[in-house]
Amino acid sequence: MISFDNVSVTYTSEKEMALSQLSVEISEGEFICVLGKSGAGKSTFIRTINLLQPVTKGTVHVSGENLDRLSEKETRRLRTEVGMIFQHFNLIPRLSVKQNVLTGRFGQKKAFENLLGLFTKQERDLADYYLEEVGLLPFANRRVEHLSGGQKQRVGIARAMMQEPSILLGDEPVASLDPTTSKNIFQLLTRLHEQRQLTTVINVHDVELAKNFATRILGLKDGKLVFDGKPNQLTTKVYDDIYGHDIKSETFASQIK
Amino acid sequence: MIWFRKRLLVYLIILSVAIFLSAKQAEFSLISLFQLNNTWDFIQRNFWPIRWELLPYLLEQSLVTLGVAFLGTFAALVIALPVSFLAAANTSVSKFGYFTIRSSLSLVRSIPEIVFGLVFVVSLGLGPFAALMAIFLHNVGVLGKLISELVEAADSGPQEAMKSVGSSRRIGQIFAIIPQIWPNVLSHYFYRFEVAIRTSLVLGMIGGGGLGQSLMNYYNSLAYESMATAIVIIMGLVILVDVMGGIVRKRVI
């Protein structure tokens, strides 16, 4: 489904590599959580999958396509197959919940249809369906600024699902939410993943969430893959590998138990 | 003295020199300042009683002023909004395009409306249309610059989200940026509208019609009471637009 072959990413502003010779295969239907300290390359990793970040060296394949060789039009088509949710939700202010969800369809429509808001009955029903899925149908006509953080992320998820993607990416989707809301969001993501065999790749800070919900965990440190395994293979040593000795291992040790 | 650094002393000296030189250029004199009394005398003696019978005529003229200011700035907004996207570093088509449009906007903005007005009165003829064109051109420059700065300062998050759903660059920018900056666009617009009312008065004095022209005619024929009536109407007009702008902005936010 997704394969990284010797991928490196260097930002022009920095000397160090954000990703360094990373190779990994992700199969269809996996639910992957990516762990790592801030600056470990988690965001860069996720963002190379939908080409928000181009790679410097190596190749990434998504659904059998080499991302290196895509024209702008093909890139846009690929992005319609990859949904993404963000830490700060990135919703469009002043639009309603439902209008925001419908923007998920933008990549699949003509410019004038988007400009004039010409959506088919089918698309509007689909928006309602996903709003129901994320529990926000009663809020469909409310402006997004008036929602809580958790609700905003649900709108973000509905917008991504509106693309009817085969892959769902999450760039720290719960980092600005409280623990209970974070758990609810992960439960929702698991449900969507199970219903549709959606390949899901999510960055997360909270090890406990990763352990409870992921089918596979990747650990990044300084742009390198230092762990790739099942949640039950996470040991204190693995934590040290991912987070380094500078962080108190006891805190994490207590989290794995 | 922890707040004060040596550099402040240098600034203080530069500022003092600038104030001194400016005062000299402006022929500022304390003695003349005491003659401000004369101004008050002049107003008291000549501006009273206000001639209310001129009201219907002056209200009609104020519609001309209002029309010139509104259409001039609104047409400028319609042009400036798309142009500002080409003049913003984050949404421009190319570096070359960005610099060309930015500098054209600066150029248009650097020419005062009264200069445009003087030219148009000659080329288009006396009357409000010359004033309209002068206000329009200058405001394309001003609004284009102000809105392009709003575009540059807009949060990039929604733009990234639009990119990730596969939307085209332009559509993504329109949806991710305009809703964010809309209240500020309106507030800039209403401020420019208010300024344009005052400008159209000045343009009236050089033959651009409306209240300004009446005001100038009264002044030249020493009809100060009539002039006072016009001033009262101008004040009312500016306050009206200010209040209207406030209401619209409140509704939008």
How many other C-beta atoms can be found within 10 angstroms of the C-beta atom of residue B5?
10
Calculate the CA dihedral of residues A203, A207, A208, A209 and round it to 10 degrees.
0
How many other C-beta atoms can be found within 10 angstroms of the C-beta atom of residue B101?
20
Burial of B14 (0-12, 13-18, 19+ CB in 10 A): exposed
* B158, B164, B171: residue with CB nearest A84: B164
Q: CA A149, CA A171: separation in Å to the nearest integer?
A: 15
Measured in Å, how far apart are chain B's first and last C-alpha atoms?
A: 44
Residues A76 and A151 in one domain: no
Q: What total number of domains does chain A contain?
A: 2
Predicted local confidence at residue A254, as pLDDT: 56
* B158, B163, B164: residue with CB nearest A92: B158
Q: CA A88, CA A95: separation in Å to the nearest integer?
A: 16
- Residue A248's pLDDT band (cuts 50, 70, 90): low
Element holding A221 (H helix, E strand):
strand A216-221
Q: CA A204, CA A208: separation in Å to the nearest integer?
A: 10
State the average pLDDT over residues A156-181: 92
Task: Enumerate the residues of chain A whose CB falls inside 8 A of the CB of residue B177.
Answer: none
Residues A175 and A245 in one domain: yes
Whose structure tokens read 């019609």? B209
Predicted local confidence at residue A186, as pLDDT: 92
- Residue A245's pLDDT band (cuts 50, 70, 90): low
Element holding A217 (H helix, E strand):
strand A216-221
- CB burial string B37-47: b at 16+ within 10 A, e below: eeeeeeeeeeb
Three-state DSSP class for B203?
helix
Element holding A188 (H helix, E strand):
helix A179-196
In angstroms, what separates the C-alpha of B216 from chain A's closest C-alpha? 46
Task: Enumerate the residues of chain B whose CB falls inside 8 A of the CB of residue A115.
Answer: 171, 174
User: Which residues neighbour B200 within 8 Å (Cβ) at sequence distance 6 or greater?
Assistant: B65, B68, B69, B72, B131, B135, B208, B210, B211, B212
Chain B residue closest in CA terms to A72: B168
Helices (H), chain B: 6-25, 30-34, 36-46, 55-86, 95-110, 113-123, 128-153, 157-164, 169-203, 210-220, 224-252
Three-state DSSP class for B87?
coil
CB contact under 8 A, B165 and A78: no
Report the residue of B162, B167, B185 to disrupt the A interface, i.e. the one with the largest count of A CBs within 10 Å.
B167
CB contact under 8 A, A95 and B168: no
Predicted local confidence at residue A16, as pLDDT: 78
pLDDT tens digit sequence for A185-197: 999 999 999 998 8
Task: Enumerate the residues of chain A whose CB falls inside 8 A of the CB of residue B168.
Answer: 76, 106, 111
Residues A1 and A60 in one domain: yes
CB A154 within 8 A of CB A185: yes
Domain stop point among A118, A136, A164: A164
Q: CA A38, CA B136: separation in Å to the nearest integer?
A: 51
In angstroms, what separates the C-alpha of B180 from chain A's closest C-alpha? 6
CATH number, domain containing residue A59 = 3.40.50.300
Domain stop point among A114, A144, A164: A164
- Residue A159's pLDDT band (cuts 50, 70, 90): very high
CB A77 within 8 A of CB B163: no
CB contact under 8 A, B165 and A90: no
> For chain B, which residues make up each domain, given as ranges?
52-252
Residues A173 and A257 in one domain: yes
Three-state DSSP class for B62?
helix
Give the residue among B146, B150, B140 at the shortest CA–CA distance from B105: B140
Predicted local confidence at residue B104, as pLDDT: 94
Q: CA A188, CA A178: separation in Å to the nearest integer?
A: 15
Share of chain A above pLDDT 90, in %: 60
Predicted local confidence at residue A218, as pLDDT: 93
Predicted local confidence at residue B159, as pLDDT: 94
CB contact under 8 A, A92 and B171: no
pLDDT tens digit sequence for A4-35: 998 899 888 777 788 888 999 999 999 999 99
pLDDT tens digit sequence for A52-91: 998 999 999 999 888 988 898 999 999 999 999 999 999 9
CB contact under 8 A, A107 and B167: yes
Give chain A's count of helices (H) and strands (E). Answer: 10, 10
- Compute CA A215 distance to the chain's CA centroid, rounded to the nearest angstrom: 15
A91 touches chain B (CB under 8 A): yes
State the average pLDDT over residues A150-158: 93
Residues A177 and A59 in one domain: yes
* A86, A92, A104: residue with CB nearest B179: A92
Pairs across A and B, CB distance < 8 A: 77
* B157, B160, B166: residue with CB nearest A76: B166
CA angle, A5 as apex, A36 and A9 as ends, to 5°?
Answer: 55
Residues recorded for chain A: 257
In angstroms, what separates the C-alpha of A142 from chain B's closest C-alpha? 14
Residues A63 and A173 in one domain: yes
Predicted local confidence at residue A257, as pLDDT: 46
CB contact under 8 A, B160 and A90: yes
Residues A133 and A248 in one domain: no
Domain extent, residue A249, equals 1-81+169-257
A182 token code pair: 């974070």
CB A121 within 8 A of CB A53: no
CB contact under 8 A, A115 and B171: yes
Give the residue among A56, A61, A67, A58 at the shortest CA–CA distance from A9: A56
Q: CA B165, CA A107: separation in Å to the nearest integer?
A: 6
Task: List, for chain B, all residue ranges whose pLDDT scores fall below the cut of 50.
Answer: none
Domain stop point among A122, A148, A164: A164
CB A51 within 8 A of CB A135: no
Q: CA B198, CA A83: separation in Å to the nearest integer?
A: 52
Give the residue among A20, A8, A2 at the shortest CA–CA distance from A221: A20
pLDDT tens digit sequence for A107-141: 999 899 998 989 999 999 999 999 998 999 999 99
Say which CATH class B52-252 falls into. Answer: mainly alpha
Three-state DSSP class for B159?
helix
pLDDT tens digit sequence for A33-46: 999 888 888 999 99
Can you give the pTM of this predicted structure? 0.83
Residues A62 and A185 in one domain: yes
CB A128 within 8 A of CB A153: no
